[in-house]
Structure formats: structure tokens, C-alpha cells
Structure 1
Amino acid sequence: MEHTASYYAATTNAHQPWPTLQESIQCDVCIIGAGFTGLSSALFLTEAGYDVVVLEAARVGFGASGRNGGQVVNSYSRDVDVIEQRYGKEIARLLGSMMFEGAEIIRDRIDRYAISCDYRPGGIFAALNGRQLQHLSEQQRRWQQYGNTDLTLLDERGIREQIATERYVGGLLDRRGGHLHPLNLALGEAEAIRRHGGRIYEHSPAVAVNYGTPHRVRTPAGEVSATFVLFAGNAYLPGTLEPRLSHKSMPCGSQIVTTEPLSRDLALTLLPNNYCVEDCNYLLDYFRLTADNRLLYGGGVVYGARDPADIAALIRPKLLRTFPQLRNVALSFSWSGNFLLTLSRMPQFGRLENNVYYMQGDSGHGVTSTHLSGKLIAEALRGDAERFDAFAGLPHLPFPGGRRFQVPLTALGAAWYALRDRLGV
């Protein structure tokens, strides 16, 4: 399988391909999946001196890591106030202390390895009504308590100076957020892994895992013997490979379009400071400018990871609701990608067997939280598992209705929250 026909795939940096595994090899750590979770983990581990093999069924960054909106958004899909209500003050303190770390790791990777991925600082959470703006004011206070002082609350005049639309009544600017070309970030991290002696194999899906001493991971034409195994496939991990990872999570599809290149003047009238934006709705819209002055716009969720027949027909009305001045602008790319949703909207970390780990289910906040998770698994393998276990101790709740009814029941719940968004309650 090759990359989907996205804007990102059409603008990748030149790179050397990785081979297909066709022999039996040994290593310290075998990682299944070459998305951000697997790549971040492999890079931290190779930097620490581990012999690492990464198996990828398709291409590096094939899944959500190479298809997402490219927004570097801090925190998790549930903010620290919800974490405290559900899990208590101590867990909130531990997870809160890490919620800006993923973005810092990304910036460090870009600088340390000179990764060309069009990084631009600054992101805005946009409020469509007074209730959402009040929530952002409370979010600013909470984030400041955890050390992020690079925040500015925007009133209606302030947000119109940042976004050329009348949709929003205010927003929160986070200068520690930002946006980038995610596939080029993934490819740059893979090159850094290669530089440290790590081995990546493309078109080498794991088809079976036999647990033992050592663990053995089979591919169609080869086998990896490893002391440690890490499942990092997220929404693209086959349910038959390790069924224990699939019944408490659900793949979901998200859709993105990009316009044709805009003139620089037009692009900068839309987003004068080149910040990325996501709104505060339950089923949110998000958008930003690309390096070549296209507007990239995404929104909505398809539960169960089905690809819509006409992505442009779904997203273009959302884009024009925000920017009606683009009604005569053509769309150049449209694509879909899957992310893994959990019922709690919190990442799922844990252990399956002795020296067998998994990390999955970032629920739409994967760009930053996957980079944090790579650091945490490296800490755990070195013997300091406190921060990994702060996530691993969270309950992994099954979706109501089991596998058969999880999609319709989740969609029903989402429709309820979407109605609340429209009513502003």
C-alpha cells in the first residue's frame, strides 16, 4: 500500500525508502507501526542505545500520522479539569505536568535533527458562542496553573484581527501550539532513527505474535525475535493481530480538503499571523495555511472509519460557512484518514504480557500525545515507569453495545452533542 493521494503525499521531502523484511533478525525492541507513536518510541529508544526494529505494514506515516490536520495542539482530548473530576487530584497533577511536553518534544526533534516540515508557531481555539468563550477563559486559568503563560484570551474584536470571518465571538491563542507538515515530520524522525542505527521495514506487516522468551513477531517473509514488543498501530492495527486491543476502542474517519494555492495577499487576509485554528464544537472544524498558501480545512467524524463517497461535498460547505469569500476558489486535494477513539477520550497505555506494551487511542490529539508517549515508553523500559503508569492506570472502558452497536450508539451520542453546539448550550 502506498500513501493516500493527499496534499502531504504530493509534497513530501526526498528520502530513501526502507526495505521489506525478508529474513529472521533479532533486536531488543520490536515496534509494530511506523506512525508517530512507533517513530517517537523508536527514536527515544535508539537514542538511549537500544537495538530497535520497526515494522510497518505500508509506508512510514501511512495512517493518521501522515494524514492529519497538522496542528500541534497541547493537552489531551479531555482537559485537566475533566481528568481531575474523573480520576482525582493526584492523577490530574501527574498528567497535567505532562500536557505541554509533547509539543516541546516535537520542537526539539525539529531543531535537533533539522527536520524540514514547515513548522509555524501559534494556534487558536475559536469560540462560536459565549458559553464556549467562558470555557476558554477557564482553560486559560487552568493551563497557566500548569505553567503555560503563553496564552492570550481574544474578544470578538481580537479574534477578527486573527481570522477573517464573522463566525467567532472570541478565542484563546496558545503560542506554544502551532502547525506543520506531519508526513514530513514523520519522515524526518524516521531518518533520525536510521542515523542512530534503528531499522525500519516498510511493506512488512506483523501477521502473528508468539509470546515467549524471546517474543517472535512474524511478517509474510520474515521474523523478528525481540526482548520487548510494542504495539503502536492505533487505528490501522488489524483487530485479529491482538484482539485485546480492539474491543475498547473504535477507528474513526476524519476528512480534509485543501484549496488551490492562494495569492499571498489573499492567504494573509484570511489568517494574518499564520496561526492554525480549531473551533470548540464537539464535532469541530479545523483549518490553517500550508507553506504554499493553500487553505487546509478539515472537520467532522465518520464513526467506524468508512471513507465518504464525496469528501469535498462534505467539507466545502463547512469551509464556505467560515470563509464565504472563497466561494470561487477550487479545491485541489481531498482525503480521509482514520484515528482511534476511546470512550474516555484518553490515551490507552498498558501491558499485555511480560515485556509487551501498547499505546493507542489518542482520540484526535495524536500529534502531541504520541510524541509524549514515545518518551514515556523509553522511560518505562529503562526502569522508571511512574509516568507511563499514570496513563496505564486509567480505566479502559468498553463502548456501550459492544462491537456490533458501538458505531450507531456513538453516532447517536455525537448527534446529541452536535445539537447542543448548535443551540449554544
Structure 2
Amino acid sequence: MATIAYPQSYYAASANPVPQRPALQEEVQTDVCVIGAGYTGLSSALFLLENGFSVTVLEAAKVGFGASGRNGGQIVNSYSRDIDVIERTVGPRQAQLLGQMAFEGGRIIRERVAKYNIQCDLKDGGVFAALTSKQMGHLESQKRLWERFGHTQLELMDQKRIREVVACDNYVGGMLDMSGGHIHPLNLALGEAAAVESLGGKIYEQSPAVRIERGANPVVHTPNGRVRAKFIIVAGNAYLGGLVPELAAKSMPCGTQVITTEPLSDELARTLLPQDYCVEDCNYLLDYYRLTSDKRLIFGGGVVYGARDPANIEAIIRPKMLKAFPQLKDVKIDFAWTGNFLLTLSRLPQVGRIGDNIYYSQGCSGHGVTYTHLAGKVLAEALRGQAERFDAFAELPHYPFPGGQMFRVPFSAIGAWYYSLRDRLGV
């Protein structure tokens, strides 16, 4: 089997040193077999190990190969659909539980970084930037909503104030969340993997799960080995493929694109983002950006429905960057890559159990850095018999995409075009 390497991203080029991890070549026995060594899988493994379970993690490529090691690196609270949408969908009791959890993922990340001394360039502060008065009104409502659930580290910014934190003339205002922030996402995953191994967990790379033998004592098969377990956690998200058909029916892989500039001068970097906050705008198909520890600008945006790799990523994203920062017109792009996330029709994560012993979480819908860390804790609680928070997610309604497998991509693209047009028209 061919070895799968990391994509040629800035993150892979600047990753911390890691040990070579073997492929599974035998039969092993464990309490929990976790499929996928991204944030969901690693977070689950850590919480389970801390609670006395034995854990084996299977990774088809390398730790953090998928969205966990390719994303924009932003710590953003709540879910891809906010708590008010959840409340209208499922009612106040369930929404109260989900609302209480909406800000927990960021705290878990910071706890992990501190407890296991993970070197991932953690910085505090995230900005939501409004391009229209309508978007500013939404941020005002969002602040009231989040404060209702106890989240108070928020500041509304007028046009003058936002210019103090980001050198872009396009914004009419924004909201600063000091519990948001940014990290080197691949180094966070690598640090969490090292923490898993420090507690006795086993991680096998280049070991894709090719078949799950279901039953009272499930077995996960890889090309050259197998894992017998009491429980399985499926954490493959957009990179799961057809391993579990039930999970593919109500989700769709989507691609997003990221570029990274050459290192900027200290003066230019300080001018762009003086407080070193990360930024995302409020459009339906949003742009997001931040500085790296070596003063590069990482800029991402756009969605490719169906997760096709564009032929020229720089041609798609560089114009977006220059619209925000025309002063970067002569700056060279050193890295450009794409990565996949898993979209659900509701934009809310799908959490559940298949039979008595196969658990899963997927479908972060582009909002996964914080949610996946919460998901690991919630899944671990469920395996320990504490299912209230797990059930709050599992009871969320989910639906197949219009048009089924064949037409879900064009239908979703048409919907995205409609909402993008509304953003451009300010309606």
C-alpha cells in the first residue's frame, strides 16, 4: 500500500518533529477503537484514556491529515448554526443544553495545550467583521444571544474601533471575542497525539479501516491487521468514504481553499493586524485570515461543493486577499492548498450510535476546531454511561440533501449562490 503523505501546506512545512508511527500489522484488542486521528478522534481518545479505557486509534494517512491539519486555525465558538436556530428547531430544553456546551470546545483546547505543554502558537482574540449594516445588526443580536448563555468576553466594535484591530477599509464594524483565537492546527493535532501516546494509547498510521464487522464484539479490519474492541468511535468526517453507508447518506464533503504569503516585514504584519487577532467576515461564504508566528498571512475562503480540488487555488483566493488588503499586491504566495470538511443540510453536527457499540460524530459544516474537541468529551461521557449531553446532539433532526447523491452538489451550489448574492446586495 502506498504511503500517504501530508499535502504541501504551510502547516506541514512548519510542523513540529514527530515520531514515525507504524501501520497495523497484527490483531490487537482494546476497549475502544477510534477510526480517524483528527481532532474528534484524538479528543475522544484523550478523554477516554484519562478515564481508564484502553484506546487504539486507526489513521488512514497521518495524524491530522484531514481538516484538522489543514484548516484556517481559528478558534471560533458555537456551531455553524447558532443557538437561536437550534432553539427554534428543537425547543428550549434541548437548546439550553446545547447552548451551555457552545463555548466549551475552546476551553478544552486551552486546557489541553496547558496540561500537555502543546506547542501550537496559541493566541487569544477573534474578530467577526461586518461588511454591511445588516451584518452588524446580526452581530448585535449574536452578542445578546451568547451573553444569555453566559458568554461575556465580547465587545461590539464600530467602524473606527475595528480599524484599530484590522487594516481593512471594507468593514462597517464587528465583534471581538477574546475567548476566540488561533493556533497552528496541525501542531495542535500532533501535540494531542503525543498526549494520547503518553497515556498508553496506540496510534497506527497508514492503517485505513476498510471494514467494520458489527456485532456484540465488533472488529475493525485494516489492510494488514484488525482491532477487536468493545466500542468503536467513527471519527473520519469528510475522509470517511463509504465505510459506514448510513453516515454518507445525510452529509456531503466540501472543499475550502487556503493560501499563505511569504513572511511579511514586522512593520507590515503589525500594520495589518496590530493585536494579532484572527478575523472572519460575516458573509454566507466567508473569508478568514490571520498571521502565523513567522509573520505570514494565512487567508482562506470559498467552498467547492463535492470536494473537488481546484486547478489553481491561488487564482481563487488571492483576489479575495487583495480585496481586503490591496497593500499586499506585490507579496508572493508561498503555499496554497485545499482541504475537505463535511457539510450537513442543517449545518449542525450529526452525533449518534449505530447498534449498541458504534458511536460517531461528524458534519461540523466548517465550524469544527472547537466543536470536535467538545465532541470527544461528549462521546467519552456516553461510553461511560453519562448520555444526557450526547443525547442532546443525537436528537437533533437531520435530513438528506435535496436531489440525493446525484444532485446534492448542484442544488447546494445554487443555494450558496443565492445567499452570496444576498450578501453582495446587502439584503
TM range (shorter): over 0.9
Task: State the 1:90 CA deviation.
Answer: 1.1
Matches within 5 A, 1:204-353: 204-239=207-242, 241-353=243-355
Distance in 2, Cα, partners of 1:347 & 1:186: 20
Task: State the 1:213 CA deviation.
Answer: 2.7
Aligned with 2:260: secondary structure?
strand
Task: State the 1:391 CA deviation.
Answer: 0.3
Aligned with 2:402: secondary structure?
coil
**Which of residues 67, 72, 76 in structure 2 aligns to 1:69?**
72
Aligned to 1:354: 356
Matches within 5 A, 1:27-66: 27-66=30-69
Matched letter for residue 191 of structure 2: G
**Which of residues 101, 105, 126 in structure 2 aligns to 1:123?**
126
Matched letter for residue 156 of structure 1: Q
Aligned to 1:175: 178
Aligned to 2:367: 365
Matched letter for residue 244 of structure 1: E
Distance in 2, Cα, partners of 1:365 & 1:91: 20
TM-score, length of structure 1 as denominator length: 0.99
Matched letter for residue 136 of structure 1: L
**Which of residues 93, 113, 138 in structure 2 aligns to 1:110?**
113
In structure 2, list runs of 5 or more residues that go unmatched: none
> How many pairs were matched up?
424
Aligned with 1:49: secondary structure?
coil
**Which of residues 68, 85, 88 in structure 2 aligns to 1:85?**
88
Task: State the 1:242 CA deviation.
Answer: 1.0
Task: State the 1:15 CA deviation.
Answer: 1.5
RMSD: 0.5
Task: State the 1:31 CA deviation.
Answer: 0.6
Aligned to 1:388: 390
Deviations 1:202-261 (A, max 9, x none): 00000111012310110000010000011100000011x111110100000000001000
Large movers: runs of 4+ above 4 Å? none
Task: State the 1:192 CA deviation.
Answer: 0.3
Distance in 2, Cα, partners of 1:284 & 1:144: 24
TM-score, length of structure 2 as denominator length: 0.99
Mapped pair 1:157 → 2:160: yes
Distance in 1, Cα, partners of 2:330 & 2:74: 26
Distance in 2, Cα, partners of 1:104 & 1:251: 28
Matched letter for residue 231 of structure 1: V
Aligned with 1:97: secondary structure?
helix
Distance in 2, Cα, partners of 1:361 & 1:126: 25
